Amino acid sequence: MTVQTDAIKRHTIAVLVDNESGVLARVIGLFSGRGYNIESLTVAEVDPHENLSRITIVTSGTPMVIEQIKAQLRRLVPVHKVRDLTVEGPSVARELALVKVAGVGEKRVEALRIADIFRARVLDSTNESFVFEIVGSTEKLDAFINLMEPLGLVDVSRTGVAAIARGANPL
Amino acid sequence: MPTQPLNGAEIILKALADQGVEVIFGYPGGAVLPIYDEIFKQNRLRHILVRHEQAAVHAAEGYARSTGKVGCVLVTSGPGATNAVTGLTDALMDSIPLVCLTGQVPTHLIGNDAFQEADTTGITRPCTKHNYLVKDVDSLARTIHEAFHVARSGRPGPVVIDLPKDVLVGRGEYVPAAKVRHKSYKPQVKGDIKLIETAVEMIAGAKKPILYGGGGIINAGPAASQLMTQFAHLTGFPVTLTLMGLGGVPGSDPQFLGMVGMHGTYEANLAMHDSDVMVCIGARFDDRVTGRINAFAPNAKKIHIDIDPSSINKNVAVDLAIVGDVAHVLEDMMKVWKARQYRPDERALRAWWAQIDKWRARECLRYEKTNKVIKPQYAIQRLYELTKDRDTYITTEVGQHQMWAAQFYKFEKPNRLMTSGGLGTMGYGLPAAMGVQVAHPDALVVDISGEASVMMNIQEMSTLCQYKLPVKVFILNNQYMGMVRQWQELLYNGRYSESYTAALPDFVKLAEAFGAVGLRAEKVGEVDEVIKEMMALDRTVIVDIRVDPAENCFPMIPSGAAHNEMLLGPEDEADKPISEDGMVLV
Ligand SMILES: Cc1ncc(C[n+]2csc(CCOP(=O)(O)OP(=O)(O)O)c2C)c(N)n1
Ligand SMILES: [Mg+2]
């Protein structure tokens, strides 16, 4: 069981918790208190009957740190399940961003053209602005936002990563 | 059948009774008056009125650690709750089971900065195992039962229940404890038998083994200590214990090498360093134990048994981990050992013990025998000799005296040493002794103390006198924050910045002012006399032992050093300067 490598890797961790007040503070407090980093975090109720929420956390660390993060999460009383989607079999992950770009003339045309290539949708448009909706991997969103930068990027809102294992089984 | 609805305060008392709570340590205030009114109306639950809420928590810790039961605390909202925070953190670090009830402003005022409002669940979230804010009376009983379950099971710890005042006066249904089941919280108790078999195989092949036990052995109950001792005898392996594990095997057992760690014995630390198979049982590779991590037991295959999976591979990567209660795992390990008729490698073990005996011959705990001044080590040795045949419990404060107590007092049984290991809280020992004495009225309870630490909760002398608790406060008075002074001597060229405890009270008169007895020893010849006198008194006593102000605590592994770089005494100080890396560590 000795963990050999010290390389820092990004992991996506799914956590099923009781949907009760303070539970998100517990999870976030655990990360800040122990010096782990959070790259993205999403949370919403997923099972109203059982009163369960699902938290998806993207974090990074050495294998020993990632093991610690999972063990510490499992130690929280309202936590039901912790799954490391990065190592426990294949999974799919998506993120959504709303991207506001303001500009006129050629830049405006270019923004629309790139949005088309990225399959981003136009949610709102005025004479001098667009709001695009784009869905994809974190990397794809990063690339899109980078391209919008010189074209009049004014605002970005991202959901953080939602992830789920492939295949028929539940979490 | 629906029962008569009760008010919240009545539900609390009923739930505490159901949980077998006999004593609660507390301090009243506006937000908890309904509970105090219920306490007034009954006499089943005993309330001990402390003088500061921090002391209530430490007292509950002493009670819990000396009995194995859950300690119980009741404090008011706002300052009552914030005063409890140090105690809660202490209990979390040392895995002490507690339930702390805190008052809160009524639900409709929460968030309004109301009088004596504090965000208690927010403040205590990182210093409890779990906490609850009860928002309606109907969930009150269930929450209390769940809190006790969480506090005592798995790796034990403190749990806070925050109680808005309207919940205390509202009426609701009582739910008995048996009906409460937790959905997600299910700690693993039995160890995986396949892993246990592998572990036993590794252990049987060891040539330089070491058993390294910690507080988990104490927390797993007295049976775990017996199993630990049996396992040591079965294998013939040397054993060392952490500060929190002392008493896990008898202090006088010939296979016991003494405490491990920063102020552990030479033989224990070198046996750890040179071992080829290390079996860590209910300990957590704390930095006080491991020293410099990359030089920690470099050739040892490490097996780690712990009930808390998050303790595994946290500081030290281990070769085999078994999650489970140490008593269960030790039992299974012995079954496997016997069933497979394993035998230790006798020849290798003989050579290993010969090596250990050489280390032992260094007599690392030796100190100067003199008649000129009372050496603190001598005072503890005499305390041990004179009290060992009595039913004795020891608590300590934090500092040199704590380490000398750990080195020189031999603990034959578990639950006999109450000390603040993880947090290192000065002011722990006196209130902890109070809790121990409440639980064991006829026992001899001694707080081995320093003159600086004792001042941090000295007000509890008043509580001790009120309840006629005959605790003995045994002060090794060196007039310094000795442990701080020692570090300043070693690391800061003797610049004793603010570590002299000036303007000390006259402890004899102070004792008398509280209504207790004060004794003093200034000469070596007086030590035995005052110890005997103190033991003969069925009263609260402060004993002021005037010890050598310059004595240092050795052996010592300076921060950032490895086990085999230990300082054995003053003669080593000059030869082994402390590294720059070590200077940033605590
Ligand atoms: C609450 C708290 N504050 C500060 C410290 C840091 N500290 C550790 S030991 C010590 C000195 C203790 O002095 P004393 O009680 O006289 O014990 P001695 O070391 O002299 O035996 C101090 C200040 C601490 N452990 N706890
Ligand atoms: Mg002192």
Residue A1 has pLDDT above 50, yes or no: no
CB contact set of A32 (below 8 Å; sequence gap of 6+): none
β-partners of residue B546 are B477
What does the CA dihedral A97, A98, A102, A105 come to, rounded to 10 degrees? Answer: 70
pLDDT tens for each residue of B468-506: 999 999 999 999 999 999 999 999 999 999 999 999 999
Q: A105: number of CA atoms within 13 Å, CB side?
A: 1
The whole-angstrom separation of Cα B373 and Cα B238 is: 36
Q: Helices B400-408 and B376-387 sit at what angle, rounded to 10 degrees?
A: 40
Peptide bond into B577 cis (omega under 30): no
**C-beta of residue B117 within 8 angstroms of C-beta of residue B110:** yes
pLDDT of residue B573: 74
Cβ A64–B130 below 8 Å, yes or no?
A: no
- Beta strand A52-61 with A9-18: parallel, antiparallel or unpaired? antiparallel
**C-beta of residue A27 within 8 angstroms of C-beta of residue A147:** no
Q: Please tell me if residue A42 touches chain B, with a CB cutoff of 8 Å.
A: no
Q: Chain B: residue nearest A23 by CA? A: B125
Catalytic residue among B69, B129, B165, B302: B165
Ligand 1 atom with the smallest distance to the CA of B397 is 15
The whole-angstrom separation of Cα B353 and Cα B255 is: 9
Q: Please tell me if residue A32 touches chain B, with a CB cutoff of 8 Å.
A: no
Percentage with pLDDT > 90 across chain B: 94
β-partners of residue B362 are none
Ligand 1 atom with the smallest distance to the CA of B454 is 15
Residue A4 has pLDDT above 60, yes or no: no
Ligand 1, atom 20: closest residue by C-alpha: B482
Q: Please tell me if residue A78 touches chain B, with a CB cutoff of 8 Å.
A: yes
Q: Tell me which chain A residues have a C-beta less than 8 angstroms from the C-beta of B310.
A: 68, 71-72, 74-75
> Nearest bound ligand to CA B553?
1
Mapped onto helix, strand or coil, the DSSP state of residue B231 is: helix
Ligand 1 atom with the smallest distance to the CA of B398 is 9
Cβ B321–A80 below 8 Å, yes or no?
A: no
CB contact set of B8 (below 8 Å; sequence gap of 6+): B34, B137, B140, B163, B167, B168, B169, B170, B171, B172
Judging by beta carbons within 10 Å of its beta carbon (0-12, 13-18, 19+), is residue A162 exposed, middle or buried?
A: middle
- What class is the A92-163 domain? alpha beta
Q: Chain A: residue nearest B130 by CA? A: A77
B115 is catalytic: yes
The whole-angstrom separation of Cα A100 and Cα A148 is: 9
**Which residues have C-beta atoms less than 6 Å from ligand 1?**
B 397-401, 424-426, 450-453, 476, 478, 480-484
The whole-angstrom separation of Cα B176 and Cα B189 is: 25
Q: Is there a common fold for A9-84 and A92-163? A: yes
β-partners of residue B542 are B473, B518
CA torsion sign for B28, B33, B34, B40 is positive
DSSP string, B389-425: TS-EEEEE-SSHHHHHHHHHS---STT-EE---SS--
pLDDT of residue A5: 63
Q: Please tell me if residue A26 touches chain B, with a CB cutoff of 8 Å.
A: yes
Ligand 1 atom with the smallest distance to the CA of B86 is 1
Lowest mean pLDDT among B181-185, B193-197, B367-371, B541-545: B181-185
Distance from CA of A104 to the nearest CA of B (A): 48
B53 is catalytic: yes
> Nearest bound ligand to CA B482?
1
Homologous superfamily of A9-84: ACT domain (3.30.70.260)
Q: Tell me which chain A residues have a C-beta less than 8 angstroms from the C-beta of B314.
A: 64, 68
Q: Where along chain A do its domains lie?
A: 9-84, 92-163
Smallest Cα–Cα separation from A124: which of A94, A154, A159, A150?
A154
Ligand 1, atom 23: closest residue by C-alpha: B481
Mapped onto helix, strand or coil, the DSSP state of residue B386 is: helix
| Model ipTM value | 0.92
> For residue B234, what are its two tokens?
């079965």
pTM: 0.96
B472 is catalytic: no
The whole-angstrom separation of Cα B345 and Cα B198 is: 17
**B346 — phi, psi (to 5°)?**
-55, -45
Q: B259: number of CA atoms within 13 Å, CB side?
A: 29
Distance from CA of A138 to the nearest CA of B (A): 30
Q: B448: number of CA atoms within 13 Å, CB side?
A: 31
Judging by beta carbons within 10 Å of its beta carbon (0-12, 13-18, 19+), is residue A102 exposed, middle or buried?
A: middle
pLDDT tens for each residue of B136-172: 999 999 999 999 999 999 999 999 999 999 999 999 9
The whole-angstrom separation of Cα B240 and Cα B210 is: 7
What is the average per-residue pLDDT within B12-41? 98
Quickly state the pLDDT bin for A2 (edges 50, 70, 90).
very low
The whole-angstrom separation of Cα B65 and Cα B60 is: 8
pLDDT tens for each residue of A14-55: 999 999 999 999 999 999 999 999 999 999 999 999 999 999
pLDDT tens for each residue of B508-533: 999 999 999 999 999 999 999 999 99
Q: B511 — alpha (psi -120 to 50), left (phi > 0) or beta?
A: alpha
Quickly state the pLDDT bin for B87 (edges 50, 70, 90).
very high
Smallest Cα–Cα separation from A84: which of A106, A103, A68?
A68
Q: How far is CA B168 from the centre of its chain?
A: 33
Cβ B184–A18 below 8 Å, yes or no?
A: yes
